[in-house]
Chain A
Amino acid sequence: MVERGKLDPRSKLFFVATISSFAVGVSDTRMLLFLFILAALALVYLGTGIYQAVHRLGKLIYVVLALAIVQSVLTDAGEPLIRLMGVTILTDYGIERAAQFLLRVSIIITSSFLILTSTTRDLIQGLLQMKLPYELVFMLSIAAKFLPTLRNEMIHKVMAMELQGIDLKGIRMGKKLKAYRYLLLPVTVNSLLKSRELGVAMEMRGFRAMETRTSFRQLRLEGKDYLFMGATAATVIIAYIIIT
Chain B
Amino acid sequence: MSQNKTRYIEIENISFGYGKGPDLFNNLSLGLDKDEITVLLGENGSGKTTLAKLVMGMLGPRSGRIMLDGVSVEDLALGEVGMRVGYLFQNPDHQIFGATLIDQLLWSFEFLGEDIDLAKGKAEELIRLFGLEGSRDTYPYYLSLGEKRILALASVLMRSPDYLILDEPTSSLDEERAGVLKEVLKNLSERGIGMLIITHDYDFPEGLAHRTIVLSEGRACNG
A residues engaging B (CB < 8 A)?
153, 156-157, 159-167, 175, 178-179, 182-183, 185-186, 189-190, 193
Between A162, A178, A183, the greatest number of chain B beta carbons within 10 A of the residue's beta carbon is seen for A162
Q: Report the separation of the CA atoms of residues A157 and B93 in the bound assembly, to the nearest whole angstrom.
A: 8
Alpha-carbon distance between A190 and B93 when the two chains are bound, in angstroms: 8
Partner of A183, one of B91, B95, B97: B97
Q: Is the CB of B93 within 8 A of A159?
A: no
- Knowing A162-B77, A178-B111 touch, does A157 contact B94 (C-beta < 8 A)? yes
> What are 22 A-B interface contacts by the 8 Å CB criterion?
A153-B93, A156-B89, A156-B94, A159-B58, A162-B77, A163-B56, A163-B78, A163-B81, A165-B112, A165-B159, A166-B108, A166-B111, A166-B112, A167-B77, A167-B79, A178-B111, A179-B111, A182-B111, A185-B97, A186-B141, A189-B139, A193-B141
CB distance from A85 to the nearest CB of B (A): 43
Q: Does B132 contact A (CB under 8 A)?
A: no
B98 proximity list for chain A (CB < 8 A): 182
Residue in B81, B96, B111 with the greatest tally of chain A CB atoms within 10 Å = B111
From residue A193, how far is it (CB to closest CB) to chain B in Å? 6
* B99:A185 contact, CB within 8 angstroms: yes
Judge whether A164 and B108 touch: CB under 8 Å: yes
How many interface residues does B have (CB within 8 Å)?
Answer: 27
| Cα of A91 to Cα of B14 in the assembled complex, Å | 57
Residue numbers in A under 8 Å from B87 (CB-CB) = 163
Residue among A153, A161, A167, A193 making CB contact with B97, cutoff 8 Å: A161
Closest-by-CB residue of A relative to B97 is A182
Given the known interface contacts A179-B111, A185-B99, the answer about A163 and B94 at a Cβ–Cβ threshold of 8 Å is: no
Contacts of B140 in A (CB 8 A): 186
A159 touches B107 (CB 8 A): no
CB distance from A153 to the nearest CB of B (A): 7
Closest to A185 in B: B99
Which residues of B84-110 are within 8 A (CB) of A?
A: 87, 89, 91, 93-99, 107-108
Q: How far is the CA of A167 from the CA of B96 in the complex (A)?
A: 17
Give the docked Cα–Cα distance between A193 and B77 (Å). Answer: 33
Q: Which residues of B contact A190 (CB under 8 A)?
A: 93, 141
A163-B97 in contact (CB<8A): no
B82 within 8 A of A: yes
Cα separation A185 to B82 with both chains bound (whole Å)? 23
Chain A residues within 8 Å of B99, by CB: 185
Residues of B within 8 A of A175 (CB): 111
Complex Cα spacing A80 to B163, Å? 65
B180 adjacent to chain A (CB < 8 Å): no
Chain B nearest CB: distance from A62 CB in Å?
Answer: 24
Q: Assuming A186-B96, A186-B141, A190-B93, is B111 touching A162 (CB within 8 A)?
A: no
Identify which of residues 152-207 in chain B touch chain A, using a CB-to-CB cut-off of 8 Å: 155, 159
Q: Which of A156, A161, A185, A186 contacts B91 (CB 8 A)?
A: A156
Say yes or no: A160-B89 contact (C-beta < 8 A), given A165-B112, A189-B141: yes
Q: Give CA–CA (A184, B68) in the complex, Å.
A: 32
Closest Cβ neighbor of B94 among chain A residues: A156
Q: How far, in angstroms, from A219 to B220 measured CA to CA in the complex?
A: 50
Bound form: Cα–Cα A159–B111 in Å: 16
- B83 contacts partner chain A, Cβ-Cβ < 8 Å: yes
Complex Cα distance, B81 from A70, in Å, reads: 41
A182: nearest residue on chain B (CB-CB)? B97
Closest Cβ of chain A to B118, distance in Å, is 16
Indicate which residue in A159, A178, A189, A193 contacts B78 across the interface (CB closer than 8 Å): A159
Known A189-B139, A189-B141, A193-B141; contact A164-B159, beta-carbon cutoff 8 A: yes
Query: Smallest Cβ distance from A162 to chain B, in angstroms?
Result: 4
The 10 residue pairs across chains A and B that have the minimum distance between CB atoms: A163-B82, A162-B78, A156-B94, A165-B79, A164-B108, A182-B97, A160-B95, A160-B94, A189-B141, A159-B58
